[in-house]
């Protein structure tokens, strides 16, 4: 049906990234504002990148995609922001996410595993955020739009969130998530993945 997500993953070159590559990039990783990792490269390599960033007080944003049921528990403790969608949340916790309440349960479970701040993206429903500081789940709604193609929406959200963490670190987290929702909702109104991502000049300027 229109607007629903179907994705085929062809990892290809991603799986060639190794620890030696990380060592060569360590200077860049340790001086970055934010490091984003996910699971389309070897999970052990992703985890090492998070650890390197963490050790240098670089903010870490982790998106467990594609999700693994037996994710190394160190991913939880080395992620400043742990961001997953409903499908990934269920694979990680065994809890099917059909609504906000379920997302809150997932959030609590992930905090117990050592996450500091968890964001569960809920498609058209926006997001649920929960953190060690604010352990009451909070809903951050998304604006209503007509979805044409939702592939890449999660990456659009994660990319936007990384941008705000890097360039607007003083913004409250809820505000970063609200703005990232806006950018992801622009991306679902165009076809394709990369091709659907808006340029800064084409976005409402109150996002910046």
| Residue of 27, 102, 155, 206 marked catalytic | 155
34/135 Cα distance (integer angstroms): 24
Here the tokens at position 102 are 């379920």
Scored b (16 or more CB within 10 A) or e, 161-199 reads: bbbbbbeeeeeebeebbbbbbbbbbbbbeeeeeeebbbe
β-strand partners of 132: none
Helix (H) or strand (E) holding 49: helix 43-55
The answer to whether 58 and 35 are in contact (CB under 8 A) is yes
Query: Does 206 qualify as catalytic in the annotation?
Result: no
The answer to whether 36 and 61 are in contact (CB under 8 A) is yes
Instruction: For tokens 């076809």, name the residue.
Output: 191
Which residues are known catalytic residues?
A: 155
């Amino acid at each position: 049906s229109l607007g629903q997500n179907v994705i085929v993953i062809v990892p290809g070159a991603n799986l060639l990234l190794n620890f030696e590559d990380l060592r060569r990039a360590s200077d860049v990783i340790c001086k970055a504002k934010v490091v984003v990792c996910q699971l389309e490269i070897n999970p052990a390599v992703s985890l090492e990148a998070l650890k390197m960033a963490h050790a240098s007080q670089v903010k870490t944003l982790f998106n467990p995609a594609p999700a693994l049921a037996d994710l190394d528990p160190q991913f939880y403790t080395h992620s400043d922001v742990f961001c997953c969608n409903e499908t990934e949340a269920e694979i990680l916790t065994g809890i099917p996410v059909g609504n906000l309440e379920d997302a809150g349960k997932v959030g609590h479970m992930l905090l117990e595993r050592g996450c500091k701040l968890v964001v569960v993206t809920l498609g058209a429903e926006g997001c649920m955020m929960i953190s060690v500081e604010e352990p009451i789940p909070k809903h951050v709604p998304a604006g209503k739009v007509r979805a044409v193609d939702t592939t890449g929406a999660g990456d659009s959200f994660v990319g936007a969130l990384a941008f705000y963490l890097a360039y607007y670190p003083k913004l409250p987290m809820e505000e970063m998530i609200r703005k990232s929702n806006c950018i992801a909702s622009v991306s679902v109104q165009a076809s394709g993945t990369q091709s659907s991502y808006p340029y800064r000049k084409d976005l409402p300027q109150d996002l910046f």
